[in-house]
Structure 1
Amino acid sequence: MNGQEDDVMTEFADSAKAGAKAATWVGIAVLLLGMLAIGMPFLTGVAITISIGVILLITGIAQLFFAFNSHSFGSGALRFGFGILSGLCGLSLVTQPGAGLATITLFLAVWFVVDGVFTVVNGISWRPQSGWGLMVGSGVIGVLLGVMIYSQFPTSSVWLVGLLVGIRLLLVGWTMIALGAVGRQVAKEIDTANV
């Protein structure tokens, strides 16, 4: 390699090292947040409910603003109605996060059942292709999970949302740490090739 190619490869290796280090540290932070969320599922669920409420409030205010700036009555009225609905839902979630958490839990129970049924039907329609049994099994687990959540309601609203968010954060954290390890390996191979 000539000097210019060496410089480019060295710069690329340095970037890979920096990216790998950042991914690892972010992964560790997200992993710790996931453990915290699993350890305190109710507080996590309430925090998420309030966050969703704030987002809906901001959306409602923005829609009302756009409704008053609309040039036609039809689109203005629709935006106004959507803004009022979003604002009221957001206000309800912020002021009554326990009831909001219960609503989100019921929604998730229904979603797991409906998604599970569709997954089972799709899996059966894929038969005899490979993987159809896995799809059916996944769908059955989804239905059972939805039924379990519903059968334990309202107790399930205390732990479900926080637990699901915590598990997701754990998976994201592990993924980031794994990406950091891959980045370090790539940087090491580039350094070895430059020697």
Structure 2
Amino acid sequence: MKNWGLWLIIGIISLLGGFFALANPLAATFSATLLAGYMFMVVGALTMVSAFQTEGWGGRIWAILFGLVMLFLGFHIVGEPLKGTLTLTFAAAILLLAAGIFRILMAFAVDGGQVRMILIISGIISLLLGGMILANFPQSATVVLGLFLAIELISNGVSLIVLSLASRKAA
């Protein structure tokens, strides 16, 4: 990392953003919802543009349809952020449950006690988190995405700070 100072600044900004999101998870939840909505719109538009780069009508039609669905989803989330928050929180809970089940199943396909135990513990944590969200749904929707965003920003900030300082010492 040549520009360790720039990475350090980005890490500090990410860390501070995580603490601000942790201080007001409701605002962070709506920010995350709007960001997701805008990203769906961008991906939808780019998918539709790339459809015309595809050879043959079969792939082109599917890409256009997928792009339209993504655009619709993005406009829906941005147009009605409260409903979008509910939808995204429910999807996060379902994904956590699916990831938990997948990790536990993977644990029995792996040889080795320590790796198996880590996968089982990780799977149980995902199942618990998904279950906690669903058990308190829709009330949990007001803070879950904001907390996830805060944790991700803090984790990202710490890792960037550590990496930038390590690269400074190596240089």
Per the TM superposition, whether the score is higher than 0.5 is yes
Contact 2:32 2:149 in 1 (8 A): no
Q: CA RMSD in A?
A: 2.4
Quote the Cα distance in structure 2 between the aligned partners of 1:30 and 1:63: 29
Quote the Cα distance in structure 2 between the aligned partners of 1:183 and 1:66: 38
Q: Report the CA distance between 1:108 and its aligned residue.
A: 0.9
Residue from 14, 37, 41 that aligns with 1:30: 14
Q: Are 2:88 and 1:104 equivalent residues in the alignment?
A: yes
1:44 to 1:127, Cα distance in 2 relative to 1, 3 A = same
Residue from 42, 46, 58 that aligns with 2:26: 42
| Unaligned 5+ runs, structure 2 | none
Q: Report the CA distance between 1:76 and its aligned residue.
A: 4.3
Name the residue aligned to 2:106: 122
1:24 to 1:92, Cα distance in 2 relative to 1, 3 A = same
| Unaligned 5+ runs, structure 1 | 1-14, 188-195
1:23 to 1:57, Cα distance in 2 relative to 1, 3 A = closer
Q: Are 2:99 and 1:95 equivalent residues in the alignment?
A: no
> Which secondary structure state, in structure 2, belongs to the residue aligned with residue 125 of structure 1?
coil
Quote the Cα distance in structure 1 between the aligned partners of 2:30 and 2:78: 9
Q: Report the CA distance between 1:20 and its aligned residue.
A: 2.7
TM-score by length of 2: 0.86
Quote the Cα distance in structure 1 between the aligned partners of 2:55 and 2:167: 52
Quote the Cα distance in structure 2 between the aligned partners of 1:126 and 1:49: 37
* Matched length: 171
TM-score by length of 1: 0.76
Q: Are 2:156 and 1:185 equivalent residues in the alignment?
A: no
Name the residue aligned to 2:128: 144
> Which secondary structure state, in structure 1, belongs to the residue aligned with residue 138 of structure 2?
coil
Quote the Cα distance in structure 2 between the aligned partners of 1:184 and 1:64: 43
